[in-house]
Amino acid sequence: MTKVADEKVLVLDFGSQYAQLIARRVRQQKVYCEIVRHDISAARIREIAPKGVILSGGPASVYERGAPQCDTEIFRLGIPVLGICYGMQLACDALGGHVQSAPAREYGRAHCRVIDANNELFAGLPAKFEVWMSHGDQISQIAADFLSLAATETCPFAAVKHAVLPLYGLQFHPEVTHTPRGQDILGNFLIKVCRCRGTWELGDFARETIAAIRARVGDDRVICGLSGGVDSAVTAALISQAVGDQLSCILVDNGLLRKAEEEAVIREFTNHFKADLHVVHAEEKFLEALAGVVEPQEKRKRIGHAFIECFSDEAAKIENAKFLAQGTLYPDVIESGGTPDGPAATIKLHHNVGGLPEDLAFELIEPLRDLFKDEVRALGLQLGLPEDVVWRHPFPGPGLAVRCLGEVAKIRLDTLRDADAIVIEEIKKAGLYRKTAQVFAVLLPVQSVGVMGDARTYADVVAVRAIATEDFMTADWCHLPYDLLARISTRIINEVQGVNRVVYDISSKPPATIEWE
């Protein structure tokens, strides 16, 4: 992997839903950041030599048996540390403070009052500002060598600092947008406390990555899978700029693509790449592998295995192919437990990072492995990809199989494809495609009673999902205009055979996920 930055900050993940968001917020300050295991050793951190360490929040209580802990020698490395919520409680507890269940729990917005206005962490901030709290525990007593920096009405230690060690703590969450001055606080920690210069640029990343790929590949050929999504498109663009016509691309039409997806990919590929394109038609193989399977993770496994088989068979026909390029992103790696220092828990399987055979005949190239989705989009624009490719809504690796709840069969996929196409068409007509982060249809494994043309029907139910988000780690459902929802519903029921009911998903993430499976 290319050297991506000369200064780095580590986020120790204690199971927070916001750990990835913290890393993104740090990168938005032009400081490179990685997420690592909460139990990473102080010796390993010393070896990595980060400019700073951030301890994430988490759902546990520090006083519970089995609660995740960290190597307390981290606090004595001389590297600045910022604890957030659970991370703050953990640090204070380890160094002589006391944590207990709060008499008045805080969930939501709170008004924070700065006690020490001269502290670097709150430089440039007003004496009072709004923060986002999400905790049932809080620090009831700090050790003698800690200083209180800020408080809320019910939390006397909303921010603290160690008198000697470069250790800070925040009970609130600066990484969420509900803390309006959160980026200023993180920026103060990075620039004023950690002495980061904020010089990390995607342009540097692209140049270094292209040069590293060129040097590694030499005269050999690289194979890249195209899916129609921005990740594979940006991967292909990077590889193309690195090795030119030594790139061969493979599109596996697994029967799980959106309506007219294959034609769109071929058209875009022809317009923007000069490389060898192979299209594999494998719908029958995938449907056979998915027959009778309803469990989401099992669907992902079988799709991943079938994809590798199809891809490998086609790749074997390409002469002098030594490397396989994948559009794996940093969240994929984290959620799949795919890094030695990264979090161990697997949230879900990703076809890019799970299911590869041990005897893989190619060396992997994953040029986007260290990037988040928004960074990939920015990189795609830098590489000259058109906006309609760069801003295409995300599409899951397993395709429509995870939006076709229950049994995956061709007739059900065709129903879903037609409904989904109507949803996207109407969203675009309304001028809302770029204003929404992801919009799609879901075919439910239930049927409902309806009346169509004086006849009683018992037909399928389609759910429509539209979300707004900056980071895909948290998301709110979109308040689409009623007349738009009405048009979508009317068109689906009238034009898609076998559907008599349309519902709208109004759940946010968390507690729901963006995809239904």
Backbone angles phi, psi at 456, to 5 degrees: -80, 135
What's the pLDDT tens digit per position in 229-270? 889 999 999 999 999 999 999 999 999 999 999 998 888 887
User: Which residue has tokens 């929802």?
Assistant: 485
Write out 6-46 in H/E/C secondary structure.
CCEEEEEECCCCCHHHHHHHHHHCCCEEEEEECCCCHHHHH
How far is Cα 197 from Cα 205, in angstroms, rounded to an integer?
Answer: 16
> What pLDDT sits at residue 482?
97
Does pTM top 0.85 for this prediction? no
Residue 272: predicted pLDDT? 75
Which active-site residues does the annotation give? 85, 173, 175
How many angstroms from the chain centroid is the CA of residue 414? 28
pLDDT of residue 353: 38
- pLDDT tens string 391-406: 999 888 899 999 999 9
Of the pLDDT bands very low, low, confident and very high (cuts 50, 70, 90), residue 355 is very low
- pLDDT level of residue 510 (50, 70, 90 thresholds): confident
In this prediction, residue 351 has a pLDDT band, given cuts at 50, 70 and 90, of very low
pLDDT (average), residues 61-79 = 94
Residue 19 has pLDDT above 50, yes or no: yes
Provide, rounded to the nearest whole percent, the portion of the chain with pLDDT above 70: 92
pLDDT at 135: 73
| pLDDT, tens only, 164-185 | 999 999 999 999 888 999 999 9
CA–CA separation, 325 and 368 (whole Å): 10
Q: Taking all residues of the chain, what is their mean pLDDT, rounded to a whole number? A: 89
User: Are the CB atoms for 27 and 375 separated by under 8 Å?
Assistant: yes
Residue 341 has a pLDDT of: 57
Using alpha carbons, list the distances in angstroms from residue 503 to 176, 442, 452, 462, 492.
30, 10, 17, 6, 11
Predicted local distance difference test score (pLDDT) of residue 337: 53
Structure letter (DSSP) for residue 63: T
Residues paired with residue 33 on neighbouring β-strands, in sequence order? 9
Residues 6 or more apart from 245 whose CB is under 8 A from it?
A: 274, 275, 276
Q: Is the peptide bond before 511 cis (omega within 30 degrees of 0)?
A: yes
Q: How far is CA 258 from CA 254, 262, 286, 314, 390, in A?
A: 11, 8, 15, 22, 17
The phi, psi pair for 32, rounded to 5°, reads -70, 140
C-alpha distances (whole Å) from 437 to each of 8, 468, 516 are 29, 5, 16
Q: What is the pLDDT of residues 322-345, one digit of tens each?
A: 999 988 887 777 666 545 555 544
pLDDT of 202 strictly over 90:
no
Q: Where are the alpha helices (DSSP H) in 316-409?
A: 330-335, 373-382, 387-390
In this structure, the dihedral spanned by the alpha carbons of residues 505, 509, 514 and 517, taken in order and rounded to 10 degrees, is -90
* Radius of gyration of the chain measured on its C-alpha atoms: 25
Residue type, 75: F
pLDDT of residue 205: 86
Say what the pLDDT of residue 340 is: 52
Model confidence over 310-323: pLDDT tens digits? 988 898 899 888 99
- Give yes or no for residue 469 having a pLDDT over 70: yes
38 has pLDDT over 60: yes
Alpha helices in 276-393 (DSSP H): 283-290, 296-315, 330-335, 373-382, 387-390
**Taking the C-alpha atoms of 240, 242, 244 and 250 in order, what is their torsion angle to the nearest 10 degrees?**
-40
